Homo-oligomer: A and B are copies of this chain.
Amino acid sequence: MDNVNVQMIGTKITAIKEYLYNFARTHSPTRLMSSENTYSLSKEHGNLKYSDILPQNAEGFPATKEFLMKVVDILLDYIKTQSDRNSKVLEFHHPNEMLRLLDLEIPDTGVTLQQLLVDCSTTLKYQVKTGHPHFFNQLSCGLDLVSMAGEWLTATANTNMFTYEIAPVFILMEHVVLQKMREIIGWPNGAGDSILAPGGSISNLYAFLAARHKMFPQYKERGLAAVGGQLVMFTSDQCHYSVRSCASVGGLGTDNCVMVPSDERGRMIPQRLEELILERKAKGHIPFFVNASAGTTVIGAFDPIQEIADICQKYNCWLHVDAAWGGGLLLSRKYRHPRLTGIERADSVTWNPHKLMGALLQCSTIHFKEDGLLISCNQMSAEYLFMTDKLYDVKYDTGDKVIQCGRHNDIFKLWLQWRAKGSEGFEKHMDRLMELTEYMVRRIKQMPDKYYLILEPELVNCCFWYLPTRLRNVPHTADRERALGEICPILKNRMMESGTLMVGYQPDDRRPNFFRNIISSAAVTEADVDFLLAEMDRLGHDL
């Protein structure tokens, strides 16, 4: 074969390759999403699969990098769109419709990297933008990008938090950050012990378990047989439901979680607490645990910690403060008092940086005044995991203190965020959120025909009714409240269908449905609050 022929064959092979490539690209069974073409891998990598990149293919770094960079493109576009006030907060579809729009199937044979990029961009297309400045729906709103960068690194480091051996830097970060938080709570030199838990509910469970262990050390081995009577715990009727859940999980039964009435502002009434303690004691029960909520879920109320602490002292009860929601205000000199005054008297404190402080989900902490309790309560002496004959000082190993064994690394995103903001930055953030809430309250009061403020907020929860035209200038009776409650789900539906706004609503024990607006995102400005109020009116005036 002469050179010319070889060249010709080469050219033909290239043409055939080209044709096959294009055919595969245009006839692939993958669903064609609008965004597909934007995030295309280079021709060279267009048909690669997971097995062509690291770690399966040790030579696959270039393709790995290209794939990951395209993912990052998708994420950056999402971040950019989310911060654009003209973009939608969500594109709502009912579950059945959504199932038709998406290709969620788990295949027998894996899809290409290119299809994974389509999967990623489609997923984000239909995801609710929780960091959008017009998302006011949850206690955790917003997207702190430093914390997010921290979470990307956390994923890449992919380690478990049980020992210093495999997570040395992160374990030390936990020590530094948690000690700082205990100092802020007000325990001298940050003494005590703490752990990061998967959410406030599990944090509260840790407190319950430690309290029971402290007061009845034999409970761990012997259970109820170690106690001469029925254990009883107390919390306000406004508390987070996870407090009651402790009674169920821990085997007390929810009948033995006494719900103490609260005043019209949602704060536990200390006198009623004392009466109920005495009532149970008279029955031969053993009151051992009182939960004070610092920032209730719906209205953001703060129980009077000092008065509750006095009662706990008098009746020898463990005082737990559930500051999962309100704890962030500890960072603000202006707003800390009187709301959290006395918190240093607590035996344990739950405080979720993933709420007011804006750390990425999940980031929850539980703190104990007494050091050593966590380990003595929770260790199961799994010598095969937590040996003491190690190279280093094993007091840094945490695996034996927790009920989870393995723990996700929830510290790095918080540590990095705190480095970025400094304590001053967090204080500024808290003050800003409170000022924006005050702004919202002022604006609502300026529009008494359109909005009805239910109560003056102590936190960033702003509870109100929206008044459609037909319910304006009407006496505020139980009938009107009922009618206002009925429009909440309808107006919420309109928000979701228009995709312009998300604000939550719920009933409570005293009222039918009402709106609860949360300002916990650093993206929100006064103009966004104005938008919110105007948009609800636009969507709801005819209801």
B405 and A408 contact, CB distance less than 8 A: no
Asked if A422 and B493 sit within 8 Å, CB to CB, the answer is no
Given contacts A200-B406, A493-B391, A522-B55, contact A76 B83 (CB under 8 A): no
Q: Mark A366-391, 1 if CB is under 8 A from B, else 0.
A: 00000000000010111111010111
Which of the 9-residue segments A18-26, A119-127, A313-321 touches chain B?
A119-127
Let me know if A499 is at the binding interface, CB within 8 A. no
Cβ of A492 within 8 Å of any chain B Cβ, yes or no, is yes
A119 CA / B247 CA spacing, docked (Å)? 43
B224 touching A128, Cβ below 8 Å: no
Cβ of A137 and Cβ of B166 under 8 Å apart? yes
Q: How many copies does the complex hold?
A: 2
With contacts A405-B201, A508-B384 taken as known, whether A166 is within 8 angstroms of B425 at the C-beta atoms is no
Return A4 CB to nearest CB of chain B, in Å: 43
- Among B225, B254, B421, point to the contact of A110 (Cβ < 8 A): B421
Segment 134-179 of A: residues with Cβ below 8 Å from B: 137-138, 140, 142-146, 148-149, 151-153, 155-160, 164-170, 172-173, 176-177
CB pair B177–A106 under 8 Å, yes or no, is yes
Q: A143: which B residues are within 8 A, CB to CB?
A: 55, 156, 158
Residue of B nearest to A150 (CB): B120
A254's partner among B50, B220, B409 (CB-CB below 8 A) is B220
- Chain B CB count within 10 A is highest, among A72, A176, A523, for A72
Please state if B83 and A54 are interface contacts (CB–CB under 8 Å).
yes
Q: Hey, which chain B residues are within 8 Å of A382, CB to CB? A: 240-241
A323 to chain B, nearest CB (A): 15
Interface range on chain A (Cβ under 8 Å from partner)? 35 or more
Closest to A426 in B: B110
**Within 8 Å CB of A252, what residues of B?**
223, 251
Indicate if the CB atoms of B506 and A387 lie closer than 8 Å: yes
> Which residues of the partner chain B approach A533 to less than 8 Å between Cβ atoms?
none
Question: Is the pair B108, A83 in contact by a Cβ cutoff of 8 Å?
Answer: no
Q: Indicate if the CB atoms of B405 and A199 lie closer than 8 Å.
A: yes
Is A282's CB within 8 Å of the partner chain B?
Answer: no
Which B residues are in CB contact (< 8 Å) with A71?
149, 152-153
User: With A and B bound together, what is the CA distance between A140 and B157 in angstroms?
Assistant: 12
- In the complex, whether A105 has a CB less than 8 A from a CB of chain B is yes
Q: Quick check: B72 and A405 within 8 Å, CB to CB?
A: no
Q: Specify which of B148, B168, B416 is in contact with A158 (CB 8 Å cutoff).
A: B148
Chain B residues with CB under 8 A of A392: 94-95
Taking the complex as formed, is A51 at the interface, i.e. its CB lies under 8 A from any CB of chain B?
yes
Inter-chain contact B152/A131, CB cutoff 8 Å: no
Residues in chain B near residue A403, CB distance under 8 A: 201-202, 205, 242, 245, 249
**B153 and A255 contacting across the interface, CB-CB below 8 Å:** no
Task: Kindly state whether residue A362 has any CB partner on chain B within 8 Å.
Answer: yes
Q: Does the CB pair A416–B95 fall under 8 Å?
A: no
- Evaluate contact between B55 and A142: CB separation under 8 angstroms: yes
Nearest chain B CB to A487 CB, angstrom units: 11
Asked if A198 CB lies within 8 Å of chain B CBs, one says yes
Q: Is the CB of A176 within 8 A of B98?
A: no
Inter-subunit contact A241/B380 (CB<8 Å): yes
Is A191's beta carbon under 8 Å from chain B?
Answer: no
Give residues 66-115 of A contacting B (CB, 8 Å).
67-69, 71-72, 74-76, 78-80, 83, 92-96, 98-99, 102, 104-111, 113, 115
Please tell me if A180 contacts chain B, counting CB pairs below 8 Å.
Answer: yes
Specify the chain B residue showing the minimal Cβ separation from A179: B106
Which chain B residue shows the least CB distance to A394?
A: B95
B116 touches A146 (CB 8 A): yes
The 8 closest A-B pairs by CB, nearest first: A251-B251, A223-B253, A198-B198, A55-B523, A151-B155, A110-B422, A241-B380, A241-B382
Other A-B pairs, 17, CB within 8 Å; known A120-B153, A198-B202, A297-B384 = A55-B144, A58-B523, A71-B152, A72-B152, A94-B392, A109-B422, A119-B419, A123-B169, A126-B169, A127-B157, A127-B168, A224-B251, A241-B381, A251-B251, A254-B380, A361-B406, A384-B507
7 A–B contact pairs at CB < 8 A?
Answer: A55-B133, A104-B176, A124-B153, A151-B152, A223-B253, A245-B378, A387-B506
